């Protein structure tokens, strides 16, 4: 289990750790109809199936059922409502209400979108996460979406000092951010070692000044680790590569807030029909 608090930006932390509430009708999953599974944003535990989601008109995602052993209920600080939390990591999700008659289950979990992740798989038991940088994030995402067991990818910016950076900010080269990718994967099908080895096979980890023709800090190779297990795994894989003769330039850094990139950059090559210009797959292990 990976607790992702260190990589969560302030507006998500305000929800999951400070028990905040997003404004109604603003959340990503309020008007969202895809089939799959909703996960805890902080630890990746599956919480709700899409089949239990319904429109209540309240302005937040509503569910009339939950996964077994996934939700913890506690009396809210207001003394009236019942708070719901992720049973594993205690991230704040929202509140639960009964007796409203919306569905035959007569139950409404009112959940903040920012407390959730969504994956299109419907049989996932648990997930893990990796944050990586390997040059232009368009190409990195293109290849990770091809890897069986990867459930979700999201491109963004991490490692810098500016909150809420934009693509233009990062391209200016003054914020310290890397173009990075958040990879959510099925932990029963892939290990972190699998993820790191594949990462090294889709880019040139020996290039120190960027990736391909894209030069600058934001395009350099880096692994951002959540815990000692990820840290040691990254170092072990690098040592294995170096034994093969590669002079690895990849940095290994602790995670810091991951800021989602603008929508135009998400799944870029699928949207445009173009192909990566500075990434290719090369078997190294």
Q: List active site positions.
A: 110, 136
Cross-strand bridge partners of residue 53: 63
143 HSE (CA, 13 A, CB side):
25
Please give the backbone phi and psi of residue 134, each rounded to the nearest 5 degrees, phi first.
-150, 45
Q: Enumerate residues 6+ apart whose C-beta is below 8 A from 180.
A: 131, 132, 133, 137, 155, 156, 157, 158, 159, 222, 224, 258
Please give the backbone phi and psi of residue 240, each rounded to the nearest 5 degrees, phi first.
-65, -40
Handedness of CA 197, 198, 199, 200 (dihedral sign): positive
**The token pair that represents 118 in the structure block:** 């969504």
Alpha-helical runs (H) found in 29-162: 137-144
Other beta carbons within 10 Å of 20? 15
DSSP string, 5-31: GGG--HHHHHHHTT---PPTT-STTTT
**CA 105 and chain centroid, separation:** 31
- CA 36/CA 121 separation, integer angstroms: 5
Please give the backbone phi and psi of residue 85, each rounded to the nearest 5 degrees, phi first.
-135, 160
């Amino acid at each position: 289990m990976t607790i992702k608090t260190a990589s969560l930006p302030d507006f998500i932390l305000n929800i999951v750790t400070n028990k905040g509430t997003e404004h109604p009708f603003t959340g990503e999953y309020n008007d969202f109809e895809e089939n799959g599974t909703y996960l805890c944003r902080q630890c990746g535990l599956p919480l709700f199936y899409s089949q239990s989601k319904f429109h209540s008109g309240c302005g937040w995602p509503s569910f009339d059922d939950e996964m077994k052993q996934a939700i913890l209920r506690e009396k809210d600080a207001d003394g009236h409502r019942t708070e719901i939390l992720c049973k594993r990591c205690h991230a704040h999700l929202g509140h639960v209400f009964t007796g409203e008659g919306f569905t035959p289950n007569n139950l409404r979990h009112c959940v903040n979108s920012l407390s959730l992740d969504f994956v299109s798989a419907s049989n996932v038991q648990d997930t893990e996460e990796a944050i990586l940088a390997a040059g232009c994030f368009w190409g990195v995402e293109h290849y990770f979406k091809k890897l069986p067991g990867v459930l979700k990818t999201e491109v963004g910016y991490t490692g810098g000092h500016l909150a809420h950076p934009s693509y233009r900010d990062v391209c200016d080269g003054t914020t310290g951010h890397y173009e990075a990718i958040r990879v959510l994967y099925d932990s029963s099908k892939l290990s972190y070692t699998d993820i790191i080895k594949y990462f090294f096979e889709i880019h040139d980890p020996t290039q120190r000044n960027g990736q391909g023709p894209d030069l600058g800090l934001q395009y350099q190779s880096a692994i951002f680790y959540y815990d000692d297990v990820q840290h040691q795994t990254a170092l072990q894989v690098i040592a294995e590569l170096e034994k093969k003769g590669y002079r690895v330039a990849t940095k290994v850094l602790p995670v810091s807030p991951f800021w989602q990139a603008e929508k135009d950059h998400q799944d870029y090559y699928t949207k445009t029909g173009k192909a990566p210009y500075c990434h290719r797959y090369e078997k190294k292990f």
